[in-house]
Amino acid sequence: LLAARRIGTTPAWTQRPLPRPPVATLRGLAARPAVQRARELFLLGRPGEARSEWEPVLRNADTATWRAAALLAADWNWYGQAIIWLARAGDWDDLVLRFPTPWRSEFENAAQDTQLPPAWLYAVARVESTLLPEARSGAGALGLMQLLPDTARGVASSIGYRLGDNSQLFDPAVNIRLGSVYLRQLLDRFGGNPVLATAAYNAGLRRVGEWLPAGTELAADVWIDTIPYSETRAYVRRVWEYMAIYESRLGGTAHGFEVERIEARAP
């Protein structure tokens, strides 16, 4: 990926459709009462209850069943569960299933409003929540782009948007809008440097300011490898990888969005 970006070419992605499980496996899974209940609960907008029916059926299943689960979930537009069970099955090459583009008008509208590449917004949401709009972290971050309620309220206030109770953050349209504005604010705070903004989205402004190189600037890829928090280091790498995949999926580029250097902090 880094080499392709360095020479200005499109990475040679390998897109291989998921191997189809036996028809009997797919039909058998779909016919299970717990799976039928999971589908109805998901379609009723109750994903937590749907998972409570769905996951016990799959927990100790074989690879063919996990593949069948991924295909069923994709058919229902339960994007996050399709991604999860593809990963459990060890299938990495079906990029269409692994990197879907739901809520496309919401992402594209947010990208237009904030003048950010939609591929970046998709990549952050994909890393943050696996595209599960009901996602909730242990730290209390909510929704697709995993916003802390206090952060979301500050962002909403800055654009004159009235945010009600925290449950609004599970609405993809609201979460995408506020998450994209927050990314824009971080980008502006770091002088238009999306690598630093991405790191700050995960680790916070103060820490990223402390991690700037001392004395001399660094190449962006080198700086990423110096991030002292392993979680943030892996996070930035994944966002950049996923952004490249989404550029390909969306048929566009993040032209002018590449970063070569990270400037040193002021003495």
Residues marked active site are found at 128
CA pair distance 130, 79, nearest whole angstrom = 8
By residue count, the chain amounts to 267
Return the DSSP state at 171: S
- The answer to whether the beta carbons of residues 185 and 155 sit under 8 Å apart is yes
Structure tokens belonging to residue 27: 């039909």
Q: Point out which residues pair with 200 in neighbouring strands.
A: none
* Kind plus residue range of the DSSP H or E element containing 218: strand 218-219
Amino acid found at 58 = L
CA pair distance 116, 22, nearest whole angstrom = 43
- The answer to whether the beta carbons of residues 70 and 82 sit under 8 Å apart is yes
Nearest residue to 240 via CA among 98, 141, 126: 126
CA pair distance 120, 142, nearest whole angstrom = 19
Structure tokens belonging to residue 53: 């029916």
